[in-house]
Amino acid sequence: MQRQLRKLILASSIALAIGATTGMATADAKTFTDARQETQIWTTFALNPYLRANDLNVSVVDGKATLSGYVDESPHKDLAKAIALGVGGIDTVDNQIVVQPDYVPSTSSAARSYGTMIDDATITAAVKSKLLWSKQADGMSANVQTQSGKVTLRGTADSKADSNLAGRLARNTHGVTEVNNQLVIEPAKPTMTDESQTAASKAGQGVADNWITTKVKSTFMYSSNVNGSDITVNTKDGIVTLNGTVENAAERDLAIELAQNVKGVTSVQSTDLRF
């Protein structure tokens, strides 16, 4: 009898221990989920150009997000709520953000915000990509740095024309506010043409056409003065055809210049690119 009683007590103790451990694991999982959702909402605020400068706070408990802080316009308050509701697992939002028309965000820190650093990294990547795809950049050794929208180009270029082109490509990139072109002119020495590579390139023209089309579209997408979504790009044997609409003659000329500058492009047909 006593042996059975001891077994019962032992089994009960084990069950209680397992239950307590399970309860702790569940609590830890909930805490982790809350923290993950808070981070996701805050990061989206930090990256959003309308909310990043505001001092907003986020707290999440069991699928309910509480937002607080200040914004200067009511649409920004609504945007913050929409972002929070867009996060998986968030069911309700207690939007305590105060709309204060004369609100001025704190500028006590001279350091770049998280959102600005992401913007700068994106600009740098876009400028590097445009230079990499440029047919005039083969002899260029360019280092690209971005600080709060200001791009600095360092390195070498074959000619003044190539240096100027690099500056235009950088200046015409989304988010760029200023370009400091420090490229040094160093003419490249002529090299022998590899006929076998040329023949292989011609044999693979179909793949090259697809590559050209992709890079022209991407160049338009990265450019601040061309609405690439309204332009259709097709390539056949290195000949790029542009169709669609642009705002004016300046945008049309820029689209043609950008397309013409991509490696592999032999000519650009733009008769169906209208404004």
Which pLDDT belongs to residue 203? 44
- Mean pLDDT of all residues in 15-41: 71
Which pLDDT belongs to residue 204? 44
For the domain made up of 195-274, the CATH class stated in words is alpha beta
- Looking at the DSSP bridge assignments, the partners of residue 240 are 235, 268
Which pLDDT belongs to residue 89? 93
User: Long-range pairs for 203-208 at CB < 8 Å and ≥24 separation?
Assistant: 205/237, 205/238, 208/238, 208/264
Question: What span, in angstroms and rounded, lies between the C-alpha atoms of 157 and 2?
Answer: 93
Of 96-100, 166-170, 192-196, 209-213, which range is least confident? Answer: 192-196
Q: Residue 141 — pLDDT band, cuts 50, 70, 90?
A: confident
- Determine if the pTM surpasses 0.75: no
pLDDT digits (tens, 9 = 90+) for 211-248: 999 999 999 999 998 987 889 999 999 999 999 999 99
Question: What span, in angstroms and rounded, lies between the C-alpha atoms of 241 and 235?
Answer: 6
| CB atoms near residue 223 (< 10 Å) | 21
Higher pLDDT, 135 or 111: 135
Domain 114-185: give its CATH architecture.
2-Layer Sandwich (3.30)
Q: Residue 4 — pLDDT band, cuts 50, 70, 90?
A: low
Q: What angle do CA 186, 189, 190 make, to 5 degrees?
A: 140
Domain ranges in the chain?
2-99, 114-185, 195-274
Residue 28 has pLDDT above 90, yes or no: no
Residue 266 has pLDDT above 60, yes or no: yes
Residue 16 has pLDDT above 90, yes or no: no
CATH fold of 2-99: GMP Synthetase; Chain A, domain 3 (3.30.300)
pLDDT digits (tens, 9 = 90+) for 63-85: 999 999 999 999 999 999 999 99
pLDDT digits (tens, 9 = 90+) for 151-185: 999 999 989 999 999 999 999 999 999 999 999 99
Higher pLDDT, 190 or 157: 157
